[in-house]
């Protein structure tokens, strides 16, 4: 199937549909409307985009080795683990950056590696903006303890 031929057929069908119920008595207005329809003003030109592929930035195990994630994360976050040991999960750069960013915005007193519970606490999304929002919401609803330490459970 040629996508451009499909577009032309779709526009032709839609144009016929639109023209089937337009009845303009004034000849000048009718000519203007017909001209606009002929010029394709009701449908945009085709849009062709190229989306860049995401760049890989290592694995969960790499983040465990760096001390960013708790060692238990390499056991839990695996593909196909229901069929045995499973295989390592590769991370895209933006996801690895989000995990590191989450660690960097945590209180200084709590710089231990992120645990699976801590990751789950911040939600399934690992994007930096969403993580920051969740951390901010949590901090607002859970002020620091009397000792001054954050109650964020990471």
CA 14 → CA 17, 29, 41, 42, distances in Å?
5, 21, 12, 10
pLDDT tens track for 89-116: 888 898 888 888 877 765 554 555 555 5
Map residue 56 onto helix, strand or coil. strand
Q: How confident is the model at residue 146 (pLDDT cuts 50, 70, 90)?
A: very low
Residue 27 has pLDDT above 90, yes or no: yes
Torsion sign over Cα 141, 99, 132, 92: negative
Q: How confident is the model at residue 26 (pLDDT cuts 50, 70, 90)?
A: very high
Q: Which residue has the tokens 């860049």?
A: 52
Assess contact for 37 and 18: CB atoms under 8 A.
yes
Q: Which residue has the tokens 């080795």?
A: 65
């Amino acid at each position: 199937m040629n996508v451009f031929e499909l577009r032309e057929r779709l526009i032709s069908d839609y144009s016929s549909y639109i023209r089937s119920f337009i009845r303009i008595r004034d000849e000048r207005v009718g000519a203007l409307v017909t001209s606009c329809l002929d010029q394709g003003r009701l449908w945009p030109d085709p849009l062709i985009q190229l989306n860049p592929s995401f760049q890989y930035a290592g694995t969960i195990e790499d983040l465990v080795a760096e001390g960013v994630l708790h060692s238990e994360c390499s056991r839990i976050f695996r593909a196909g683990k229901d069929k045995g040991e499973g295989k390592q999960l590769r991370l895209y750069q933006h996801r690895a950056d989000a995990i590191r960013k989450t660690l960097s915005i945590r209180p200084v007193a709590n710089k231990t590696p992120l645990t699976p519970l801590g990751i789950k606490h911040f939600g399934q999304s690992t994007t930096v903006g969403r993580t920051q929002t969740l951390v901010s919401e949590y901090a607002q609803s859970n002020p620091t303890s009397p000792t001054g330490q954050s109650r964020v459970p990471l």
